[in-house]
Amino acid sequence: MLRDGERTAGTITLTPEAEEGLWTDEELAEPSMFINKLTVSRDYAGQNLGGRLLDWAGDRAYRAAATWLRLDAWTTNARLQRYYLDQGFQHVRTVLEGTAVNGGPRVSGWLAQRPARLADHGFADETPSPEPLRA
């Protein structure tokens, strides 16, 4: 959570656990971290906080020995998809109802990834160092 005094400016959720049914077994065999949520308060829009949070997530993923930083977004939200593409993510595929891999329950998902990498995100990270991903 990114705080500005007592106010929450933004938040991101980063996990080594993929949402079931979106990624193939081959993709899941690659060391990856997954973004589940990214939110920036409208009061802080236009300040690149979302981009910096994505850089922070990629930095943590790299420090955990991940190869990829991955996410999924709503298939109908072209504006959000464009945002992630502009942040350096590459579209992997779109999972629609009835096409989820591994029998997963998810009905939709626009999947994207970018390499995990060190980043100068400008945040003072007070969270514990990430645990290395298990092989």
CA dihedral 19, 24, 30, 36 (to 10 degrees): -20
pLDDT at position 113: 98
Strand order of the sheet with strand 2-4?
A: 2-4, 7-15, 32-40, 68-73, 109-115, 90-95
Considering the entire predicted model, what is its pTM?
0.84
Going by pLDDT thresholds of 50, 70 and 90, the confidence category of residue 23 is very high
Calculate Rg over the CA atoms of the chain: 15
Higher pLDDT, 81 or 48: 81
- What is the distance, to the nearest Å, from the Cα of residue 2 to the centroid of all Cα atoms in its chain? 16
For the stretch 98-111, pLDDT in tens is: 555 555 545 468 99
pLDDT at position 105: 47
59, containing H or E segment: helix 49-63
pLDDT at position 95: 87
13, containing H or E segment: strand 7-15
pLDDT at position 125: 72
For the stretch 124-133, pLDDT in tens is: 777 767 777 8
> Taking a C-beta distance cutoff of 8 angstroms, is the pair 30, 68 a contact?
yes
Q: Which residues pair with 35 in a beta bridge?
A: 14, 71
| Strand 7-15 versus strand 32-40 pairing type | antiparallel
> Taking a C-beta distance cutoff of 8 angstroms, is the pair 85, 64 a contact?
no
For the stretch 108-121, pLDDT in tens is: 689 999 999 988 87
pLDDT at position 49: 87
Question: Measured between alpha carbons, how far is 41 from 34 in angstroms, rounded to an integer?
Answer: 21
Average pLDDT over residues 45-59: 91
